[in-house]
Structure 1
Amino acid sequence: MAFVALMLAAGCSSQTVNGPSQASDSAQASDPSAVNGSAAIVFTDVAGREVRLDKPPETFIVANYIANFMMVGGAESLDKVVGMTFDGWEDTRYGEYKVFTDAFPRMKSGDIVSIGGYHDDVLNAEKIVSLEPDVLLMNLSQYAENNPQIATFEQAGIAVVVLDYHAQKLENHTKSTEILGLLLGREQVAEEQNEAYIGAIEQVNERIAALPEEQKGKKVYVELGNKGVGEYGNSYSDSMLWGAIVHNVGADNMGAGIDGGYGVLDKEFVIASNPDVIFIGGSIWSDDSGGDQMRMGFAVDEATAQERLAGFASRPEWKDLKAVKNGEVYGVDHGSLRNMIDYAFTQYIAKALYPEAFADIDPAKSMHDYYEKYLPELNDDGTFMIRLR
């Protein structure tokens, strides 16, 4: 699997990210323009667009992936942020919102302006232009939704950079992280994170490849538990989030054929398919009127998560499902996907499906150690992955 690497050409005046080769520290050190910060930065982003900056950027708007931005840049990188997508963050990812704003009070001080919806991809173009950032970071769906405004941003001198951590593609994760390292002057940190990600994914792939074919192909149902027990939530196709992870680890993802990446599977289809394993994605959503949404993630204690997961497993129509009868029902934190530590969920799902092959892997520890190393200011207490007792 290709490692998308930073290339610094000795004696050249530009820094580039666009290919499969890996730069050495000596190459960077031999380029005096890179050392003194005067080098132009040229790279191809995840949308295939060439981006050029005449000098390292000093101010950013982060329309998505603030966790990745700060994991690469460190706590001090927040000082460069003038805008974020705050609207809806607290309502849809309360645990994440709380631990980030507690650790970094500047996020709610008013110094960082909200430039649109956290969850709806609609960005406020007028406000973005008025903030005059050097760089606007966005994801692929935001790029598609706001495409008519891209030319306006660029004419205003704002470099638009598209990243992707949604598709669970190794090449997109690593390329996005390389770009962040380049923009933030933290190439070595980005390289370390990519090496960890690649190593973890390759280890999972190698172990699964060595398994007998009869152990593969378990039927897996994934549901987002934001609607509570009484209504089925979204599942995901093989190209997005949980569905992509399930597919990547050699299982039969029941949501594989969903158009658009995600959608609700019919109750009758779920029951008739009789899944071997069930994963319920959780978070802390504000509209928990029935008190039965799946709770997972930062600031969630395990007793609460187990209680909520038991509610889903107790759906009357599920009593005869193989997954329920065999105790193969799991909870996972939906908010912890889309960043460089989400390889821990690939490890966890692989371990749930092939416990003997991954007996020595501790995904929860992988996650904790990552936060401890790259964002130690954050209180990472919570419940991120559980099996129903």
Structure 2
Amino acid sequence: MRVLNNIVLALVAAVIAAAPAVAAEITDVTGRKIEIELPAKRILLGEARQIHIAAALKGELVFDTIVGWRDDLIKKDPDSYDGYRERFPAIEKLPRFGYIPSGDFSLEAAIALKPDVLTLNLEAQQAVEESGFMDKAAAAGIIVVFLDFRVDPAKNSEKSLEILGQIFGAEARAKEFIDYRRAQIAVVTDRLAKAGAIERPKVFIERSPGITGETACCRTFGPANFGEMVEKSGGHNIGSDVITATFGDLNPEQIVVAKPDHVIVTGSNWSAESDINQFVSVGRGADPQAARERLTRLMQRPAFATLDAVKAGRVHAVWHQFYGAPYEFVPIQQFAKWFHPELFADIDPDRTFREFHQEFLPIAYRPGYFVSLSEGGE
């Protein structure tokens, strides 16, 4: 199936390359109506982690029209970067850019690449507009398109997928991705609906602990993003009781009082930017034993050591980068298995993600995206 898909993609790409781009209007996630020639011939990814979506749309041809990208993949998700570099060695020479809100993005260097379009994440919108970047990019003939897989994924993920499908000339593939994603989420939500009034365990999910000493405890999620994944999986996100934004902080006493039934931390390989290196490194090809040791040490902090969830081993780590890509069907399945092991005994999130790689992605699957302290994760 994968070989056949690659052949089809190659034939489609050949047809697209031979045909002129067509002027069209798209609407990005901010509601801006944008005139653009589609498919775009030269694409600059304002976040390199958008490669997780672009690769699912274009497969082996994903880098044919990408002329540069932000440096976040190699800094925040080097294990995924290594996977793509193994398959596409030339990306080591692909120009990298900084983050616009941080002031380390070189517009002059970007202009030199002559991109048709620059894709940016929604959270950069305010800084981009206030800095005058939009006007400067427009004057240089660069079209800015905002996407969102993070701030309000329930509202914007499918729309963003459709937009990238248009930009890359892969509308049909984008629809297949959307359909697959919906079906895999429904595996959990439909079964929960049929189960009726089941008890929802209380869940505290901590955002990237151990990455920096500046945030000892306890950053978490409100009702969106990972908070929403917890709810769709049949749990109750305790952060949503207090926080209305995407992210926010609870103090240790609030966690102790809340008495969560499960504790989940998000982790990734942040060795390139961490100042304390106490994070849980989960992700593509991660070492589960090393991750489990890090997770154990994090649970020795005063806010956690006395929790019944910790004593019972109902402590887990999930790949942080699920929060910025429409792959949330994988953690939703895994969370459901943790929260309701009997109801979801037959669900295999690892198999699901492996299947997704085989069907959509040009790189091989390697496990390591989850770890638990208890045997079997229950």
Q: Tell me which interval the TM-score lies in, with the shorter structure as reference length.
A: 0.7 to 0.9
In structure 1, list runs of 5 or more residues that go unmatched: 1-31
Secondary structure in 2 matching 1:227:
coil
Contact persistence 1:45–1:51 (CA under 8 A): yes
Match of 1:140 among 114, 117, 122: 122
What's the TM-score, normalizing by structure 1? 0.82
Going from structure 1 to structure 2, the CA distance change for 1:115 and 1:90 (only over 3 Å counts) comes to: closer
Going from structure 1 to structure 2, the CA distance change for 1:288 and 1:338 (only over 3 Å counts) comes to: closer
Contact persistence 2:204–2:239 (CA under 8 A): yes
1:72-107 per-position Cα deviation (integer Å, ceiling 9, x unaligned): 122322121112111x54333222232222322222
1:148-204 per-position Cα deviation (integer Å, ceiling 9, x unaligned): 311222232222111111146344222211122222122221111110111122332
| Separation in 1, partners of 2:28, 2:188 | 27
Going from structure 1 to structure 2, the CA distance change for 1:352 and 1:51 (only over 3 Å counts) comes to: same
Going from structure 1 to structure 2, the CA distance change for 1:144 and 1:158 (only over 3 Å counts) comes to: same
| Separation in 2, partners of 1:284, 1:33 | 37
Match in the other structure for 2:70: 85
1:23-80 per-position Cα deviation (integer Å, ceiling 9, x unaligned): xxxxxxxxx9999445322221111111222443100000121221122122322121
Secondary structure in 2 matching 1:142:
helix
Secondary structure in 1 matching 2:324:
coil
Going from structure 1 to structure 2, the CA distance change for 1:310 and 1:201 (only over 3 Å counts) comes to: same
Contact persistence 2:296–2:373 (CA under 8 A): yes
Going from structure 1 to structure 2, the CA distance change for 1:360 and 1:186 (only over 3 Å counts) comes to: same
Q: Which letter maps to 2:150?
A: H
Listed as ranges, the matches of 1:72-221 within 5 Å are: 72-86=57-71, 88-109=72-93, 112-117=94-99, 123-147=105-129, 148-167=132-151, 169-216=153-200, 218-221=201-204
Secondary structure in 2 matching 1:383:
coil
| Separation in 2, partners of 1:232, 1:122 | 29
Contact persistence 2:46–2:70 (CA under 8 A): yes
Contact persistence 2:203–2:238 (CA under 8 A): yes
Cα displacement (A) at 1:119:
9.3
Match in the other structure for 1:16: none
Q: Which letter maps to 1:159?
A: I
Contact persistence 2:98–2:104 (CA under 8 A): yes
Report the more deviating stretch, 257-266 or 336-345. Answer: 257-266
| Separation in 2, partners of 1:89, 1:54 | 28
Match of 2:39 among 56, 80, 88: 56
| Separation in 1, partners of 2:293, 2:351 | 23
Match in the other structure for 2:261: 276
Cα displacement (A) at 1:133:
0.5
Match of 1:361 among 347, 350, 356: 347
| Separation in 1, partners of 2:277, 2:153 | 35
Listed as ranges, the matches of 1:291-330 within 5 Å are: 291-330=277-316
Match of 2:232 among 248, 263, 275: 248
Match of 2:23 among 40, 43, 53: 40
Contact persistence 1:121–1:141 (CA under 8 A): no
Match in the other structure for 1:388: 373
Report the more deviating stretch, 33-42 or 341-350. Answer: 33-42
Q: Which letter maps to 1:51?
A: I
Going from structure 1 to structure 2, the CA distance change for 1:215 and 1:81 (only over 3 Å counts) comes to: same
| Separation in 1, partners of 2:152, 2:89 | 31
Secondary structure in 2 matching 1:210:
helix
Q: What percentage of aligned pairs have identical amino acids?
A: 27
1:204-223 per-position Cα deviation (integer Å, ceiling 9, x unaligned): 2222223343412x211111
Going from structure 1 to structure 2, the CA distance change for 1:159 and 1:211 (only over 3 Å counts) comes to: same
Match in the other structure for 1:237: 222
In structure 2, list runs of 5 or more residues that go unmatched: 1-14
| Separation in 1, partners of 2:101, 2:283 | 18
Contact persistence 1:40–1:56 (CA under 8 A): no
| Separation in 1, partners of 2:126, 2:88 | 30
Match in the other structure for 1:8: none
The aligned length equals 353
Report the more deviating stretch, 278-287 or 199-208. Answer: 199-208
| Separation in 2, partners of 1:194, 1:312 | 36
Q: Which letter maps to 2:260?
A: P
Secondary structure in 2 matching 1:263:
strand
Give 1 or 2: higher helix fraction: 2
Report the more deviating stretch, 330-339 or 36-45. Answer: 36-45
Structure 1 vs Structure 2 CA RMSD: 2.8
| Separation in 2, partners of 1:60, 1:104 | 17
Match in the other structure for 2:358: 372
